[in-house]
Amino acid sequence: MNLVLFLIVFITSFIVVRIGAIALQLTGIEWSMAKFQALSCFTSTGFTTKESELVTATPQRRRIASVLIVLGHAGLVTMIATLANSLRAQQIIESGLSKSILPFYLPPFLAQLINVVIIAAAVYAIYKIFTNTKFAKRLTNALRKRIMKRESFKPVSFEELLPATGGYGISRITVCPESPILDKTLYESALRSQDITVLAITRGGETIPNPPANMKMLSGDELICFGKLDNIRGKICLMSQQPTAE
């Protein structure tokens, strides 16, 4: 029973970290960084000063980080306790695990060794499944759709990455359904005339640098732009779509 509980907590930990990464991405953090930050919060490791400032920059990100930290500590304590209990020789013998697998008696140390091998094999199998690219992508898409449907976290449509002098800077923008450039090509959007240059477009986890002029912009696309920040805010996505700070 302890072994089953350990594996359940282990699997749940992967799912919780993935949900945390999706939630952080919806607040405007780039996906690869969101995954690292979610794992860092859950395990309470891996932070640098700059990265911690990024996570604590908004109330929504602080709430996500707090939940991940609390769940990470609870999960770690549970896994340690259940792992220790599952390796107790007397408990293994009383549970009849060795008898159910083998038709002959096993000394306590061999019963413990079998349990260790079973745990190691199960952990390795779970790890390989959750780190498989195709499985991880399907899981992420399913979780993201569920989160968006429940409106647990509202996506941030505009983030200033590198403000410069004179009101210019680099920004990341998510094309929302109300955007005036939705379903238009870069050429048709006339962004150049607004002093806005699209440096890259991220779609479905893939980044397209220097996108061609005939590329159409779809809802959910992330645009990395350089230009006058006021023009970017007004031209690409309505500011009313941004979540209010709480």
3-class DSSP state for residue 122? helix
pLDDT of amino acid 35? 87
Which burial class, exposed, middle or buried, applies to 29 when counting CB atoms under 10 A from its CB (0-12, 13-18, 19+)?
A: buried
Is residue 170 located within the same domain as residue 138?
Answer: no
pLDDT of residue 77: 82
> Which residue bears the tokens 């939940």?
67
Asked if residue 222 belongs to a domain, the reply is yes
What pLDDT is attached to residue 117? 83
How far is 243 from 58, CA to CA, in rounded Å? Answer: 11
Report if residue 246 sits inside a domain. no
220 plus 113 within the same structural domain:
no
pLDDT of residue 240: 32
Q: What is the pLDDT of residue 52?
A: 67
Residues 50 and 146 grouped into a single domain:
yes
Let me know whether 140 and 199 are in one domain: no
pLDDT < 70 regions, the chain:
1, 28, 46-54, 56-57, 86-111, 151-166, 233-246
For residue 35, count CB atoms less than 10 angstroms from its CB and return exposed for 0-12, middle for 13-18, buried for 19 or more: buried
Question: Cα–Cα distance between 68 and 85 in angstroms, integer?
Answer: 26
* Residue 198 covered by a domain: yes
Signed CA dihedral, 151, 38, 7, 124: sign only:
positive
DSSP state letter for 246:
-
pLDDT attached to residue 86: 66
pTM for the full model?
0.58
Same domain, residue pair 25 and 117: yes
Q: Could you tell me the CATH number of the domain that includes residue 185?
A: 3.30.70.1450
Asked if residue 184 and residue 124 are part of one domain, the reply reads no
Distance CA 82, CA 4 (A): 9
- Residue numbers of the domain that contains 130: 2-150
| Tally of domains within the chain | 2
Rounded CA-CA distance 61/27 in Å is 7
Q: Three-state SS for 1?
A: coil
Q: Which residue among 132, 150, 168 closes a domain?
A: 150
Angle between helices 59-86 and 31-43 (to 10 degrees): 50
